[in-house]
Amino acid sequence: MRLTLQSRLILSFMIIVLATSSAFVLLSNRLIVSRFTDLVARSGQSNARKVAPILENYYSRNGSWEGVDTLLNNIVAFQEKQARELPPGLETPLLNQFVTENRDRLILLADGEIIADTVPSRGGIIERALVRKYGVPLVVSGKQVGIVAAPNAFGIFTDLQARFLRDVNRTLLAAAALAILAVVIVAIIQSQSIVLPIRQLSRAALKVAKGDYSQRVNVDRNDELGEMANAFNTMAADLAKQQEIRHQSMADIAHELRTPLSVLQIDLESLEDGLMEFTPENVRLIRNEASYLNALVEDLRLLSQVDAGELRFELAPTDIGSIVREIVERERQLMREKELTLEYLLPPGELYVNGDVQRITQVLINLINNAVQHTASGGKILISAAKVDSFVEIRVQDNGEGIPADDLPHVFDRLYKVEKSRSRNKSGTGLGLTIVRSLVEAQGGKITVESREGYGSTFTLRFPLLV
């Protein structure tokens, strides 16, 4: 049988309170009975010791126990009278009866036989061994002539005393029952307060699993369930955002693919129909479109590998200065063709980070190419590196056209392009900076950008310094 979480919580509460209540009732009962029995026994022994001198005096005067029944009854009657004459304010029927019944029975044992019992009909047969064990010896002229005992001294309760113990036990059981009932009520309330948010989360999670990312859980709590609900809402919001990004990305990818494919199709049909001559220039245009398609597909493949964690990084101590010098030497020819100046600025000594040489090189080349695309002839690109606190900062700075303030927060978004530079020949696939950020963050670094339109841009990489 499948039990719900609420049922298990209530059942657990009930088992715990039942076990603790049972233990409490059992231990309390044993303690009360033990203490009450001891109290009654002491009272019986005290009463027997008080009566003993009277009986010894009686035997001394008469030389026998003949007629002692009358004396014992008179003693009990006297005690009952004393019990009834309580101080003002204590005269209650229950107390009178309790005190009287605590003293109303006396037993006399002589010559091995019970010769007197003030209430022979109560308590059944009294064993003589108990009288000998708990009774008070009666000694006259150095000779034991009998034993007097009160049955209370050896654990025989009166009716009222037994009823008192039963009332105590019933009170304990009633208190335990009320405790169990109270705990069950509290358990139901608490379990509902726990289960209801979980049910809301479950229903919302099922809808999110089916693609409804608009689901939110309204749980106004400051405990762990509230934290879980907030985490779920954050997750759902992120999934909704990612879905929107995926939809937009797919639309952008379709658009980016459609344009070169359309150009290729038109050019090939024009060649086939004789509308376009088969010249080196026309072949170059077709090849450029094919190269753009290949670059776009390769960038998408690389980005998907980074996102999925499938791109391998060979992390090792890497000197940033060596990478920068090698890249600058490699790109000088390109800079001359573009009529640009490429320089570097490095501090003395080495700057080591824990990174992948190939991927860091790829990042810097992408940033340089990005600077080249947005810097006019005669411009300058500067690569610098320095130690800042416990990090190595690498800056790629240009004095090109800069980035508009509205576009600056989105430059690392996938397929995002500044509107005024939409042409593919200038802005590439729109994935370069996204790939740069992914590669940097995958190696434990961060990338930021500062730019002012018309004055150029500065991309800053920060990697933990390897000591």
Each residue's pLDDT tens digit, 294-313: 877 787 777 777 777 778 88
Contact present, 298 and 291 (Cβ < 8 Å): no
- Both tokens of 47, joined, read 């009463």
Each residue's pLDDT tens digit, 103-116: 457 888 888 888 88
Quick one: angle between helices 159-209 and 5-62, nearest 10?
170
Domains of the chain: 5-163 (no CATH), 224-308 (1.10.287.130), 316-464 (3.30.565.10)
- Looking at residue 447, its pLDDT comes to 95
Beta strands in 254-351 (DSSP E): 316-319, 341-345
Point out which residues pair with 143 in neighbouring strands: 140
Helix runs in 135-158, H state only? none
- Looking at residue 295, its pLDDT comes to 76
Nearest CA-CA partner of 128 in 105, 157, 104, 151? 151
> CB burial class (10 A; 0-12, 13-18, 19+) of residue 420?
exposed
DSSP state of 396: E
Over the Cα atoms of the chain, what is R_g? 51
**Rounded CA separation 114/125 (Å):** 10
- Looking at residue 83, its pLDDT comes to 53
Contact present, 191 and 9 (Cβ < 8 Å): yes
Contact present, 354 and 319 (Cβ < 8 Å): no
**Rounded CA separation 236/94 (Å):** 72
- Residue 439: partners with Cβ closer than 8 Å, 6 or more residues away: 306, 359, 362, 363
- Residue 357: partners with Cβ closer than 8 Å, 6 or more residues away: 314, 316, 318, 323
- Residue 263: partners with Cβ closer than 8 Å, 6 or more residues away: 289
DSSP state of 428: T
Token pair 């040489």 in the structure block, residue: 357
User: Residues of the chain whose pLDDT is less than 70?
Assistant: 1-2, 79-104, 120-126, 155, 248-249, 252, 255-256, 259, 417-429
Indicate the length of the chain as a whole number: 467
Token pair 């001198």 in the structure block, residue: 53
**Rounded CA separation 48/39 (Å):** 14
What type of residue sits at position 463?
F
Neighbours of 352 (CB within 10 A): 17
What type of residue sits at position 382?
L
